[in-house]
Amino acid sequence: MHPSPLKDKFEAYNQAAKEIGDEVLCSGRRHSQESYIPTIVKDITLKLELDKADFLLDIGCGTGLITSQLFQNINTIYALDNENMIKKFKELHPKEANKIIFFKGNFLEVNLQLKVDKILCYSVIHYLKDKEEITAFIDKALTLLKSGGMILLGDLPNVSHKNRFLKTEFGKNFSEAFRAKETCGANTDESTKFDRIFSESKDSFSDFDDDFLIELIATYRRKGFPSYILPQNGERNAFGYTREDILIKKYR
């Protein structure tokens, strides 16, 4: 008998954090990408203009790969994720975790009574089920922003952007080398376990392309929020040639 599908990708990550000991793998990344984390942190810091006076909410903090490295640029961090991810965060980064105010649960279901200067949501919203849920997620996040604040929706997989890249000679060579590197370390028990957990979960929204990202930007500009698609850099991020970020600001 096949196992029943998990509720959604949020629950899949909850299960991964419970079953997988490897921090990088249960965060949804491979070890070949681990060396990029410091430069991802730097990129986030610059795009969000993080300041030592800022209060930051990290929605989907995971095991702390990124969040634990943000303290040198921030005043206070609030972090939200599922119960098992937060438990693993505290085990792996106890010193940093002691300085963080955690919230457990699905962001769409948790009642947060706070206002923050900046919101980080990195590699999260493409796991939501449809356009309506994505819009509800962003709308709720905007209610938590102080005037002059901003939200970074990071690491969004744009299939149009990826297809353009893969048509270039450099893109073809890069992709071939990346796949070869991934294959070398892909057959560990824990990576196989991670793939199994996610293969048993429900599909999430898959139409992240130029049209959808531009539609999001247009939607929030019409609502009165300056909104931008920002590039990533492939030399500083393993997915940088195929993913983009969205920055949404709130007027003072």
Q: Cα(90)–Cα(84) distance, rounded to whole angstroms?
A: 10
DSSP letters of 41-108? Answer: HHHHHHHTT--TT-EEEEET-TTSTTGGG-GGG-SEEEEEE-HHHHHHHHHH-HHHHTTEEEEES-TT
- Tell me which residue range forms the domain holding 26: 9-249
pLDDT along the chain (252 residues), means of 10: 63 88 83 82 94 96 92 91 94 93 96 96 92 96 97 95 94 85 66 83 85 96 97 78 94 88
Q: Is residue 2 part of a domain?
A: no
Number of domains making up the chain: 1
Q: What is the pLDDT of residues 116-131, one digit of tens each?
A: 999 999 999 999 989 9
Can you tell me which residue has the tokens 């106890």?
94
Q: Is residue 86 part of a domain?
A: yes
pLDDT at 2: 47
CATH of the domain at 223: 3.40.50.150
Collapsed DSSP state (helix, strand, coil) of residue 152: strand
pLDDT at 113: 93
Whole-model pTM: value is: 0.92
Q: What is the pLDDT of residues 180-215, one digit of tens each?
A: 776 655 557 888 888 888 888 888 877 899 999 999
Q: Is residue 4 part of a domain?
A: no
Q: Cα(75)–Cα(42) distance, rounded to whole angstroms?
A: 16
Of 2, 99, 104, 114, the residue nearest 59 (C-alpha) = 104
